[in-house]
Chains A and B, each alone.
Chain A
Amino acid sequence: MEEKILEVNFGPQHPSTHGVLRLKVKLNGETVLSAEPIIGYLHRNAEKLSEFNYYASNLIFMDRLDYVGNHNMELGYVLAVEKLAGIDVPERAIWLRMLFAELNRIASHLVWAGTMGLDLGMITPFFYAFRERERILQLFEMVSGARLTYNYISIGGVYNDLPNEFDEKFKEFVNDFPARLNELKSLFEKNEIFIQRMKGIGILPPEVAKSYSITGPVLRASGVNYDIRKISPYLYYDKVDFEIPISHGMDNYARFEVRFKEMEQSLKIAKQVYEKLPPGEYQNSLYKKSGLINIKGAGESYVRTESPRGEFGVYVVGDGSKKPYRVRIRSPAFHNLSAVNEMVKGLKIADLIATLSTLDPVFGEVDR
């Protein structure tokens, strides 16, 4: 019997590709022979657009890159520009930035948890995860006024201070969250079918991961202890106490475990940061609102930060004028996605979808 190879397009519009991704899959029956990702359906070329705006106006583009973990995107760009232009940031602003970056990490992982269930056919965890995310979004709405595109972290500090209602809601969230996180986790963990479908699938050896420049939870689930918050700390990550969860499983189940443990650690960091918040200014007074236009930068700089998907950074080249000469974005999901072909050879279609969901791509970031 001759082998018939069926070439199927998991097209840009598909309920489970987490955005616009086109996968050219070669199938032999139900077994995948190769899966080539084709991207570019959300390409807006934020890098070129950034060359025509002032430094502070470019924050809009950075916001819309990874639309699930916005604060981390803004943080990467803002730290690079502050190094370039030599701007000081007050203490309270640094702690506030850390608080919101960690809360956003929890929110991003909750989206991942809900959509992972949907890809496997479980419709219930989606509602549980988004209910928790709703509380975080209400916290964000209190400070920045928006639920998706916050535009909160700005050059020289943050845009707004915490209002009075924030305290009560934050404490309520922090007290309730651990129990609900355990409930959400138990929906997956205690399910024999889920374990069967995730263990041993989508193996990514650490050498392959290192060669493809993969970072973030995907790398940590392959056993490499690499987290930018510990290795080269930015903001005040060396002043708070937290752990980096690692797993040596290399498969989908390991990535699932690592992300859930990361959520617990982020909550721990958020609690410590909130207790240590000093009073003071939230924005460098030279650069409040209309002063932002006066930022000038000359030279090159790149600062590494840890976003929910891996290492994020922006390489800014300035020529001494008010507009940047070149803005280059390093997006982690771009690299996580490039290793798909290595991970799915020989699996079935259902495993391909499950593996793609544990890689957690967000296409605003992949396509920029």
Chain B
Amino acid sequence: MIYSILQLINFILTYIGISYSQYLPPYGALFQRLIVDTIGALLIFIAASLTIVVVIYIFRKWMADLQQRIGPNRVGPYGTLQLIADALKMFGKEDIIPDNVDPILFRFAPYLVFIPLIMSYLLIPYGTIYHWAIIFTNVNVTLLLIIAFSAIPPIGEIIAGFASNNKFSLIGALRAAAQDLSYEIPMMISLIGVIMLTGSLNLNTISQYQWHYIPIAILEPIGFLVFFVAVLSKMAVVPFDLPESESELVSGFNVEYSGLRFGIFYLGVFGSIFFGSLFISTVYLGGGSDLPFLPGFGYIWLLIKAFIFTFLFLTIWVSLPRIRVDKYMNFGWKYLLPLSLINLLWTMVLLLFIHGVL
């Protein structure tokens, strides 16, 4: 039996004896569904925020280790409460809005960057605990939805850059536009290879496929590498942090933001790092699916794979310098795009081989 979390919440509510159907207006089933969905979404929002906080803590400690120092170690045992202290500080700051900015767009842009990211967290299958699958939705096209959601934050960055009425933000916004456009295309073409192999757009099916057969990273190594570089670029960390190059443009597109609004951009960066590692381990490494000889612990395997990728991304952040814009575009269009097309050809050959034609 497979229960989803939504059915679980419904089950708990009816078990406790809360029968609320008599208080509901007509179309009661719809309202019941709405309440259950809202609770699920709130849960995932809280869980995602807590995970982001944990990722930031890991980043600070790991970066400190690579730089031969200690990192936060005063607030709380081993510095664990440091992030709570930083968050409280950021909430208490004054909301400064410069005079000449566009009033609506300036306030609206951080949410455009942050909300699609949290919504994408809803779409990933988090594996199984015993015989319960932790999935929050039964939409059949989750991969397509994730790609669509990942196209919105760059628009938020561009809006933030333009609305700030500042030349440095403008340059940062233009770079964000260029970066997003160049590296989204190889990413999508390598995902087409995955879709062709597994035959569906549903992430749950993709990860089950990898449980039955072998992880797609082994079947399509070129696609895996192209996707890895493209995801690294989407997350806007060094070496690809062009929109926010700190030493050249003084924080690029978010130079005029302070306090809570800046905190939202900052959470967005770490949220996208963790989301990127979840995404790549689901699509290419079969995250969340059980091992044949050890059923019931899929969630733990997903977490292990995601954290390995997170550490990898953070190490790359700490050790490499920033790439220059024209070399970056050069690389994207002249190397990554042809490689992803070669990957497509290779997938077609593989498919013919699998179906016994070759």
Contacts and interface: CB of A to CB of B under 8 A. Distances in A.
Contacts of A118: 247
A348 B324 contact: yes
A118 B63 CA distance: 15
Interface stretch (A103-111, A169-177, A192-200): A192-200
Interface string A117-136: 11111111001100100000
A120 B321 CA distance: 5
Nearest to B317: A123
A127 B67 contact: yes
A197 B63 CA distance: 24
A89 interface: no
Given A8-B168, A349-B171, A124 B318 contact: yes
Interface in A321-368: 348-351, 353
Interface string B301-326: 00000000000000000111111111
B282 to A, nearest CB: 29
Interface size, A (range): 20 to 34
B245 interface: yes
Nearest to A31: B326
Nearest to B241: A121
A348 B318 contact: no
Nearest to A14: B250
Given A15-B247, A16-B248, A120 B322 contact: yes
A121 B66 contact: no
Given A15-B250, A127-B68, A121 B324 contact: no
A197 B245 CA distance: 15
Interface size, B (range): 20 to 34
A350 B250 contact: no
Contacts, number: 76
A106 to B, nearest CB: 19
B93 interface: no
Given A15-B250, A16-B248, A193-B239, A30 B326 contact: yes
B159 interface: no
Interface in A2-16: 6, 8, 14-16
A120 B247 contact: yes
Nearest to B67: A127
25 contacts: A8-B171, A14-B250, A30-B171, A118-B247, A119-B247, A120-B321, A121-B247, A121-B320, A121-B321, A121-B322, A122-B238, A122-B319, A123-B67, A123-B318, A128-B67, A131-B68, A187-B319, A191-B321, A193-B239, A193-B320, A193-B322, A194-B321, A197-B324, A349-B171, A350-B325
Given A16-B248, A120-B247, A127-B67, 15 more contacts: A8-B167, A15-B247, A121-B238, A121-B241, A122-B320, A124-B67, A124-B318, A187-B319, A193-B321, A193-B323, A196-B323, A349-B171, A350-B325, A351-B324, A353-B247
Given A8-B168, A15-B247, A350 B322 contact: yes
B327 A196 contact: yes
A122 B238 CA distance: 8
A201 to B, nearest CB: 9
Interface of A: 6, 8, 14-16, 30, 117-124, 127-128, 131, 187, 191, 193-194, 196-197, 348-351, 353
A365 B238 CA distance: 33
Contacts of A6: 167
A228 B322 CA distance: 37
B247 A30 contact: no
B246 interface: yes
Contact of B248 (A123, A187, A349): A349
Contacts of A128: 67-68
A348 B329 CA distance: 14
A15 B247 CA distance: 6
B180 to A, nearest CB: 17
Question: Considering residues B63, B68, B248, which has the most beta carbons from chain A within 10 angstroms of its beta carbon?
Answer: B248
A224 to B, nearest CB: 29
Contacts of B239: 121, 193
Contacts of A122: 238, 319-321
Nearest to A131: B68
A121 B248 CA distance: 9
B69 interface: yes
A121 B319 contact: no
A353 to B, nearest CB: 5
Question: Considering residues B63, B167, B171, B247, which has the most beta carbons from chain A within 10 angstroms of its beta carbon?
Answer: B247
B34 to A, nearest CB: 47
A6 B322 CA distance: 24
B246 A15 contact: yes
A194 B238 CA distance: 13
Question: Considering residues A8, A30, A196, A350, which has the most beta carbons from chain B within 10 angstroms of its beta carbon?
Answer: A350
A348 B327 CA distance: 11
Nearest to B318: A124
Interface in B34-81: 63, 66-69
Given A16-B248, A128-B68, A197 B321 contact: yes
User: Nearest 6 pairs between A and B by C-beta?
Assistant: A121-B322, A120-B321, A16-B247, A127-B67, A122-B321, A121-B321
